[in-house]
Structure 1
Amino acid sequence: MAQGGRGAWSSASRTHALGVGSFGEQRLNILGEGAAVHIRIFQKPPRLVLLNRALALCLLLALTATAALAGRQTSKPKTCINGATTLPYSLEDDIRSAGRAGFEQVEIWSAKLDAYLQNHTVEDLKKLLREAGVTVASICPYSLVTFGDVKPALDAVTRAAHIASKIGCPVLLVCPDAPPPDMPREEAFKKAGREARRYAEAAAKYGVKIAIEPLGMHPFVPGPKEALRIIREANHPALGLMIDTFHYYKSGVPLEDIRSIPTNRILIVHVNGCEDKPPAELNDGHRLYPGEGVIPITDTFRILKQKGYKGALSVEVFRQEYWKRPVDTISREAKHALDATMAKVWQ
């Protein structure tokens, strides 16, 4: 907020004066998006005071609404890269190359995290992230075991949530299992909801959320409708889902289903293209950089923009052709592809 007497205004400020000829002045100050907005109300004869104040209030409200709208239109999701995209490389390589490529965030691959912590501490990891200039969007993947031995998977998620809380990571990503073929579907969703709630409760103790990942043509959770059914059954605020453009494409998820996802339940978005093959033949090895192949990513991006999504857009590509390249090359290519695709929607 600009300081000083009459005439001492910041060059970044906009000043609106109402009225002429005064014996003093009052100010209404608001902080707009990126600039201080000052409204100066000059003291007037009594019959004009209420009118000028009403005009000033209208102007204040208009400027506030304009600033808020501008913020929604210009704010973008965060650029992110998933550790699977650089799978053959170490966690240190992932983080440093992501920073050099200009990514804002990384998703830490859980197996790489385990390997790193064998010879390093969490404090070492925090220092590495600071030096690279990136933050952590999620740690992944973990298993959402609801129809088998839950304890080992739940223990792993609890340990990961503890680490996540120390490095500022808000989300753990979990992949669902499937019920026995003879279990009624209604019973399966209720059981999945009960177990998912246990995961959410364990993570929430550390201020971390759980994101369920629908998987392409999965027998139980192929899309957001099924994930949301589990979330409703669980009824816990620390539980959400993620969007993966590859899995949603393979499962044939319609755009309307994406549009119907509550924004506060979208915890992270994986972005990738894929080869032009029948969905039933697609596997993770057919993924491509964003904007390449047949997935209409920009349609999903437009929905996310309309929803005001501000989380991570993370490039997750399992492609051996890419893995043969230097880690910095992969990260630069991924960042360039993501930027080019985002630019079609977020100006």
Structure 2
Amino acid sequence: MTDLLLNRRQVLKTLGLTAGASLLKLPASAKETSKQTNSSFKYALNMSTIRGQKLGFVKELEVASKAGFGSVEIWIDSFQTYLKEGGTVKEAKRIIDDLGLEIENAIGFARWIVDDEAMRTAGLKQLQGEMEQLAGIGCKRVAAPPSGANGANAALLDLNVITERYIKILEMGEQTGVKPVLEMWGASPNLKKISQVLYVVTESGHKDARALLDIFHIYKGGSSFDSLAFVGKPAIDIFHVNDYPSGILPAKISEPDRIYTGDGIAPIRQALQAIKDPGKQIILSLEVFNQSYYQQDALLVAQTGLAKMKAIAEGV
């Protein structure tokens, strides 16, 4: 995988079933446990998980709510398509409230990090506009990945430069009320390691600085899961969960290889124990891009994902 952003957008075109992915079968306990709460964690659905069904913004929200999720991560492009087709921010907020959902985070790809000044200026303008829209629907955060600085041939950016640029968007977040969360991308030369993300977050010295880490990206980027023990508790509000099958090396594994939590070999319980915070609930958000799941009913996928998340987090 040479360009993670491109990979994400083209995941529906990926042919073949994920290696090692099991066929979907809803656990009997899914509906029974959907409203139960582990006080250490909140459970969210990242809409990537049902993105392949092409339901549209409102239907995605409805599926998440019906499946038992109280929190979601939306994709900005889906929200903006809804707006372009006649929806309004006010109406979207009403729908979200009626469904009893919290918009914990939004996934976008504004190029705030790049060296190209014109591109970065455009990226900052884009991000500002997105933050203002997201604030209108009560979205609390927006992902800030190394978009545009993530191809195989992308230059390695100085971490102090990244820190300066992250501080800039943190200041934008203060103005809009939507916090930018520094996102790890394991296939990028920039922000691929836990240590890189943690350096920028801590060096920023900003009260709103946060890290968005991910089970898949920790493996893909070559970080040790033991490194999670060195991430300060305040640095994590939301954590992407998924799993990966055996037999695929980090250099070869790609986005569509993500599977449900507990269906692979990732040390998920170890990771959850490391990030667990007695002072607050950590949001565990299911983010997968699995082609075989996209062939299934979206509600079944969401219900199955929630049940499997709860099963693996139980007792952590």
TM-score range, shorter chain: 0.7 to 0.9
Cα distance, 1:123–1:189 mapped onto 2, change above 3 Å: same
Q: Is the 8 A contact 2:198 2:211 kept in 1?
A: yes
One of 60, 79, 85 as aligned partner of 1:94: 60
Q: What is the letter of the counterpart of residue 90 of structure 2?
A: E
Q: Is 1:207–2:173 an aligned residue pair?
A: no
Q: What is the letter of the counterpart of residue 104 of structure 1?
A: G
Q: What is the letter of the counterpart of residue 133 of structure 1?
A: G
* Aligned residues with identical type, % of pairs: 24
One of 91, 94, 103 as aligned partner of 1:127: 94
Q: Is the 8 A contact 1:201 1:238 kept in 2?
A: no
Deviation at 1:308, TM superposition (A): 4.5
CA distance in 2, matches of 1:256, 1:123: 44
Q: Is the 8 A contact 2:65 2:99 kept in 1?
A: yes
1:143-158 matches, cutoff 5 A:
143=110, 144-148=112-116, 149-158=119-128
Aligned match of 2:5: none
Q: Is the 8 A contact 1:146 1:196 kept in 2?
A: no
SS in 2 for 1:239: coil
Q: Is the 8 A contact 2:194 2:227 kept in 1?
A: yes
Deviation at 1:172, TM superposition (A): 0.5
Q: What is the letter of the counterpart of residue 163 of structure 1?
A: Q
State TM-score, norm by structure 2.
Answer: 0.80
CA distance in 2, matches of 1:333, 1:295: 18
Deviation at 1:179, TM superposition (A): 8.8
Q: What is the letter of the counterpart of residue 324 of structure 1?
A: Q
Structure number with the higher strand fraction is 1
Q: Is 1:282–2:253 an aligned residue pair?
A: yes
Deviation at 1:306, TM superposition (A): 5.1
Unmatched 5+ stretches in structure 1 = 1-73
CA distance in 1, matches of 2:126, 2:79: 12
CA distance in 2, matches of 1:97, 1:182: 38
CA distance in 2, matches of 1:291, 1:161: 34
Aligned match of 2:133: 163
Equivalences, count: 271
Q: What is the letter of the counterpart of residue 339 of structure 1?
A: K
One of 286, 300, 325 as aligned partner of 2:271: 300
The alignment yields a C-alpha RMSD, in angstroms, of 2.2
Aligned match of 1:104: 70
CA distance in 2, matches of 1:107, 1:298: 22
Deviation at 1:331, TM superposition (A): 1.1
Q: Is the 8 A contact 1:171 1:211 kept in 2?
A: yes
Kindly provide the CA deviation profile for residues 73-125 of structure 1, in whole angstroms up to 9, marking residues without a partner as x: x6222110001111122111111011111111010111101101111111111
One of 282, 285, 290 as aligned partner of 1:319: 290
SS in 2 for 1:138: strand
Cα distance, 1:233–1:120 mapped onto 2, change above 3 Å: same
CA distance in 2, matches of 1:157, 1:151: 10
One of 189, 192, 197 as aligned partner of 2:167: 197
One of 245, 251, 254 as aligned partner of 2:221: 251
Q: Is the 8 A contact 1:81 1:98 kept in 2?
A: yes
Aligned match of 1:7: none
Q: Which is greater in Rg?
A: 1
Q: Is the 8 A contact 1:263 1:307 kept in 2?
A: no
Deviation at 1:307, TM superposition (A): 5.7
Deviation at 1:138, TM superposition (A): 0.2
